[in-house]
Amino acid sequence: MPQPHVSIIVDNYNYADYLGAAVRSALDQTYGRVEVIVVDDGSTDDSRAVIEAFGDRIRAVFQPNQGQSGAFNSGFAVASGDIVLFLDADDALRADAAAEIVAAWGEGVVKAQFCLATVDAEGCFLGNVFPNFPPGLTAAMVREETIRSGLYPCPPTSGNAYARAFLLKMMPLRKVLAGADGPLNTVAPLYGDVVTIDRPLGYYRVHGRNDGAHRTLAADRFARYVRHDADRISYLREHARRLGIPLEGDPLDRAILHLQYRAASLKLMRAQHPIAGETLPSVVGRAVRTAWRNHDRVTAKLFLSLWFLAVAVLPRPLAEPVIAYRFAPASRPQALKRLLQRLRVLRPPARGAAEPELSLPRHLAAGKLSA
């Protein structure tokens, strides 16, 4: 049986400063059967020059701005891979990423997901590898959690690879409120197995312009996150109906990350909270019950419960840093980070791994590089 062909689609909008590193990381893959496609979604910076410098080593698509879902659609339309990975232009892959994904693939797999090491604008490791997947996370557990809560432990765009057969059922994507990977990740477990590679195969850059990553606490984002999740659950319901899979009640009432968004939204900007009549005590009570039903370590359940209770009872000036410690990792005191790593609430660094291994390789870390 021939080895699968892998397509890496780099989606870019005005990220010329980081785009070259993303493309080079895709071209550097040790796996032999890889094609690299770069979709520029109407950039107004120097992105075109960066892309054109790679010549015929990549396939370039230039289009008017259509948003990330439009970039996904255009990239997939010209991709030929059996496995497709969408790589955000400010992120990068380890050289062995495609090989590790292929090794983990199997019959019935629709998606492989893996961890990402957070790096700063210069590519230096920020001390956080995520997601901190529950131990022994299986495809069956992912599917169960999807049907129960609508969400499951999952990385952002650059930490996922999809089966072409699955994408043929999903594409073209409709325009979405937030990341175009959201609908794909949400419904993937309904269509087959999601396999988890519990080690970092890529780099997630935190530089201040990310929508999903907080360098410092951004209080106005939480109401938007709540609305985005509601949009994803609507998409999940649509596909569950097609497949004859029943969903009980509102899955988001059992989604622990979503409940964190709701608690933060109510505490920080109650007037903008998108769920009319909801109260912080009701969210916290539901969240604590949910935390203890999750497939997670006891220490993680305990700290989540304490976090929700602290957000509920502390006055806002004291609750703000508690919320920031959760959503803006750079704000965490080192002592707290070490404690949470020791208790496995946060993912500890791999034993024996030197910190530079979790930073971007030197040849990728230099500013606006090209070919």
DSSP assignment, residue 367? T
- From residue 287, alpha-carbon distances to 138, 219, 329 in Å are 23, 20, 21
pLDDT at 305 over 60: yes
| 288 and 325 co-located in one domain | yes
Q: What is the pLDDT of residue 369?
A: 56
Q: What is the pLDDT of residue 181?
A: 93
**Buried/exposed 300-327: b ≥16 CB within 10 Å, e otherwise:** bbebbbebbeebbeeeeeebbebbbbbb
CA 164 – CA 83 distance, rounded (Å): 6
Encoded tokens for 150: 């609508």
Worst-scoring range by mean pLDDT, 251-260, 274-283, 308-317, 321-330?
A: 321-330
Mean pLDDT value across the chain: 91
CATH number reported for the structural domain that contains residue 117 in this entry: 3.90.550.10
Q: What is the pLDDT of residue 354?
A: 44
- Which amino acid would we find at residue 100? E
Assigned domain for 340 exists? no
Assigned domain for 173 exists? yes
What are the pLDDT digits (tens) for 158-212?
A: 999 999 999 999 999 988 766 889 999 999 999 999 999 999 999 999 876 665 5
The count of domains in the chain is 2
| 170 and 309 co-located in one domain | no
Q: Which residues, 6+ apart, have CB-to-CB distance to 260 below 8 Å? A: 287, 307, 308, 326
Assigned domain for 306 exists? yes
| 290 and 168 co-located in one domain | no
pLDDT at 367 over 60: no
Q: What is the pLDDT of residue 210?
A: 60
Encoded tokens for 339: 């404690």
- The parent domain of residue 358 ranges over 6-211+354-363
Assigned domain for 347 exists? no
Choice between 11 and 296, residue whose per-residue pLDDT is larger: 11
Q: What is the largest CA-CA distance in the chain?
A: 62
Choice between 214 and 252, residue whose per-residue pLDDT is larger: 252
| 127 and 14 co-located in one domain | yes
| 225 and 184 co-located in one domain | no
Given the structure tokens 């040790």, which residue do they identify? 30
Coil, helix or strand for 289? helix
Assigned domain for 158 exists? yes
In the predicted model, what is the mean pLDDT of residues 65-77?
A: 96
CA 11 – CA 26 distance, rounded (Å): 12
| 28 and 138 co-located in one domain | yes
| 111 and 188 co-located in one domain | yes
CB count, 10 Å around CB of 167?
23
Whether 44 contacts 12, CB under 8 Å? no
How many residues are listed for the chain in this entry? Answer: 371
Q: What is the pLDDT of residue 333?
A: 86
Q: Which residues pair with 204 in a beta bridge?
A: 118
Given the structure tokens 């493309």, which residue do they identify? 23
| 206 and 231 co-located in one domain | no
Whether 246 contacts 237, CB under 8 Å? no
Encoded tokens for 260: 């964190």
Give DSSP secondary structure letters for 220-270: THHHHHHHHHHHHHHHHHHHHHHHT----S-GGGG-HHHHHHHHHHHHH-G
CA 279 – CA 268 distance, rounded (Å): 13
| 130 and 204 co-located in one domain | yes
Assigned domain for 337 exists? no
Evaluated on CA atoms 122, 28, 86, 118, the torsion sign reads negative
Long-range contacts of 101-105 (CB under 8 A, 24+ apart): 101/6, 101/161, 101/197, 101/201, 102/3, 102/4, 102/6, 102/31, 104/195, 104/197, 105/4, 105/195
| 184 and 268 co-located in one domain | no
What are the pLDDT digits (tens) for 198-230?
A: 999 999 998 766 655 556 788 889 999 999 999
| 28 and 137 co-located in one domain | yes
Q: What pTM does this model have? A: 0.90
| 82 and 60 co-located in one domain | yes
In the predicted model, what is the mean pLDDT of residues 312-316?
A: 96
Whether 24 contacts 49, CB under 8 Å? no
Assigned domain for 241 exists? yes
